[in-house]
Amino acid sequence: MFSLANRVQKLSNQTLTAFSVITVAVVLVSVVQLYLAGAHNIASTAIENVRASALLKHLRSFGAAGRPKENSRIMFDLSADLTPLFHWNTKQVFVYLTAEYAGRKEGQSSRVTYWDAILTSPTDAVLDMRNVRAKYSVWDTEASFRGRNATLRLEWSVQPYVGAFLTGETTTQVPFTFASVKKK
C-alpha cells in the first residue's frame, strides 16, 4: 500500500500537470484568437495634423552638465479602433505613440515615446482625439533634433490575464520633421 505522503504527492503532481496543460491551452487559444481578429494588421488608424515644436531647456540631470538641451514636443490628431485587441483573456492594452529617427551612425536608430494610455475595456479602445499635446517631451543624446526626419507610429502591448505580453504596431506610419528651436 502507498503511504499518505505518496498519495498526496501523486495528487499534487496530477493537479499541477492539469493546471499547466489548461494554462498552455488558454495562452494558445488567446494568441490564435488575436491573430484571427486581425490584431497584427490594424489599419483603421489615422495620425494626422502633426505639429512639432522645440525648446532649449536647462537640465542638470541626465548628463546635461548645465548646458541647454533641445527638447522636442508634438501636437497631433489620433483616431484608431483597437477593439480587435480585446477578447476574454485581455486584461488591458497599453498603447503608445512613438517616433523613430536616424541616429548618429549609419544603420542606428532611436525611438522615443510621446504619448501613452492604458485601455481597460473595448469601449475605451476607440480613440478619437483632436489637438492632443504630447504627454512627454523628449530629448536626444545629440545636441539637436533640428531638421531631422522621424516616423510616428502607434504601438501596443496586450497584457492578458494568463500568458505572455503580446506587442505590435498599427500599419499606419506618419513621417514628420523635427522643428527648429524657439527661444523662450
Residues 6+ apart with CB under 8 A from 168: 39, 40, 155, 156
Domain that holds residue 29: 4-182
| 91-136: pLDDT as tens digits | 999 999 999 998 777 888 889 999 999 999 999 999 999 999 999 9
| 52-94: pLDDT as tens digits | 888 777 666 655 566 777 888 899 999 999 988 898 889 999 9
Count of domains forming the chain: 1
CA dist., res. 180 & res. 148, Å (int): 10
Number of CB atoms found within 10 A of residue 97's CB: 25
Cell numbers describing residue 15: 493537479
Beta-bridge partners for 101: 110, 150
| CB 140 within 8 Å of CB 110 | yes
